[in-house]
Amino acid sequence: MYFDGSSAEFSAGAGVVVETHEGQKFQFAFQLHFTCMNNQAECEALIVGLEILQELVARFAVQNEMVADDYTQEMIQELEELDQERMDTYNRMEAQKKAVARAYNKRLKSKSFAEEDLVWKAVLPIGTKDRRFGKWSPRWEGLFIIDQVLGKGAYQLRDQDGELHAMPINGQFLKKYYPTTWEMRVQEL
């Protein structure tokens, strides 16, 4: 038995070739009606190929003993069962995807800022170092004020002087500003 699977952005498919000892070849191609990675398509091709091989062996044994109408009914029943097994496989894959998404989202810290929040901005591009400070170069700069929430994690910043920044910035490059103890004491005086 030879098999292979392939996936693209919007579709996936697989092919199986079963060769008998006498050299007779049976070729099967099918389209997968769910999104998957290339490895998943190949696994699906293997599973379906093994099912086809099992069915062919059983079919050759039974075919010689059955009447044509009984054989046709048996084939229809097998196709319905195969569709159900594919749906079960699809449901298992969807459950696995949801489990992975839950695990990922547990570690994800969402950041959201409101207008007039004080924030630090990452020194961009990330990893830029000042020759004077070397590895002690600051990673954050600012103090900036959120002027406008643009949606989908984008924010418009302005300086404390009121000057707007030319480009909006993604929220992943912002960090909420919390005053230090020294700044709190100066404000109290």
Categorize the per-residue pLDDT at 59 as very low, low, confident or very high, splitting at 50, 70 and 90: low
Average pLDDT value for residue range 47-63: 74
Which among 43, 28, 31, 30 is positioned nearest to 93, based on CA atoms?
A: 43
Q: Where are the domains of the chain?
A: 2-107, 118-188
CA 188 to each of CA 23, 145, 184: distance values in angstroms, whole numbers, following the listed order:
92, 22, 6
Mean pLDDT of 38-54: 81
Residue 156 or residue 51, greater confidence = 156
Chain mean pLDDT for the chain: 82
Instruction: Give me the mean pLDDT over the 123-134 stretch.
Output: 79
pLDDT at 64: 64
What is the mean predicted confidence (pLDDT) over 148-173?
A: 90
Full-model pTM:
0.42
Question: 5 exposed, middle or buried (CB, 10 Å; 0-12, 13-18, 19+)?
Answer: buried
Average pLDDT over residues 100-126: 84
* 18-31 b/e (C-beta count within 10 Å ≥ 16 → b): beeeeeeeeeeebe
- Amino acid at position 130, single letter: D
pLDDT at 189: 62
* Rounded CA Rg of the chain: 31
Helix, strand or coil, per DSSP, at residue 174:
strand
Instruction: Assign a CATH topology to domain 118-188.
Output: SH3 type barrels. (2.30.30)
pLDDT of residue 62: 64
Distance CA 135, CA 139 (A): 10
